[in-house]
Structure 1
């Protein structure tokens, strides 16, 4: 017996994210209160995508669009594809800036597909949704906070990606600095060496542990907790403007790091009012998103806040 698809449209709101957060390379991520709104419905055939906002006129308008690719991968997990899809994307997350635009598209597609299938959220639970999203993205550090909201620690083991979600301290008030120029994760990863000194790895292990404590319990420790020796220094030559801004913010005591693979920068506490980043940067203070990818529609209406590692909803 085939799947039952929703007769009407379903919608999902997906948050921007920042990954790595300094020392937590490929492991730590934070959901930010900046959102893409996606809507999808099943049609009699074909794939049509409408994009407004960020990426309009640049992104594919057919089955090559990342949202549709994520939806089809999720339908495959559930056992059947619909004959066609119509998708509308209202994008506010800057594209290719280190703020999780691809993760927002992937997680949005996974959630839309689950919501378009009767019982889809139960047949493919939050653990399965995270695994599908991480497989498509290639690593779980951005998709975990996008799916779950808040501050997440993600890792991969035999069955795939897993994550735990934590609440941030109320004094954590991120400001993102978004440049006019784009950056690409693949290029940023090519700048990384195949091995690092043992002392640097040990340094980052300690700082990553401290960062978990600082973000959740004691923001006064955010400055030392955001020191990194694993990736930012290697990428600096390819992103000199980003490296200079991080250094300038840290020189006035602001715990700032590269957001994801860059070129955006994220600061975790208030930036002095007289600080000037330069005309090539757009600064925006954002809250921490607590809900993750919120779904509304005829087959499901809920916000999943799941401790995936423990296999329970909280």
Structure 2
């Protein structure tokens, strides 16, 4: 008669690891970005500098605003000069500062992980590369959009409060003002996503920053002038040119040239740059080896 063997309890199997959700990935990416103090200090300082440029530009115009404008002679037929707060208060110089800072920030978030080897640890913990890069893209877009909105709104309301006593200020409800403020803010995340695309493709600090500078500031020099319509049309749809067209005061006497960009085309251009940049970043990170 065989004796029954005592039932022994097998050691429990290791519990399945918790699959990282999208909110977990966002939290992880936020920790990475927050741990690099240089990145957010660059963004904060660039925002302060951009606001200071806009405010100082309008403040420097006070002596000219306060001077009485002489009437034009009747035969000229030209409209009298009117100060344009949108042109002077949302300046292209400040927009360039924010665009360069955002583009560099976007590139750093990609090539920084490849340079340090952190990307291997990230993909070992979360094999789903698409989810990782999507979380990174979403966080970069939200951060830079918030920063762009702060710079745009602060600049607009501050400079128009300064100009209120001169009776040349504008309200956000005036024609073209809300569109200008929105475009001024939106170009910042667009440039950040462009930087991410270059960072994913090049994976090198110097090359990525040079590429960002080239696409944002050097390339537009090749597509100016009114002689060749095709070249001008391409230039109209570059990121900063599209933002400048959307920020133009409808009541401004500024000449748009022979082949001006359109409002609709400029909005489409900004959206297309953002979408293509996201597609490039996600596709390259998924398919290339670490």
So what's the TM-score if we normalise by structure 1? Answer: 0.26
Structure ranking higher in helix proportion: 2
Larger Rg: 2
So what's the TM-score if we normalise by structure 2? Answer: 0.27
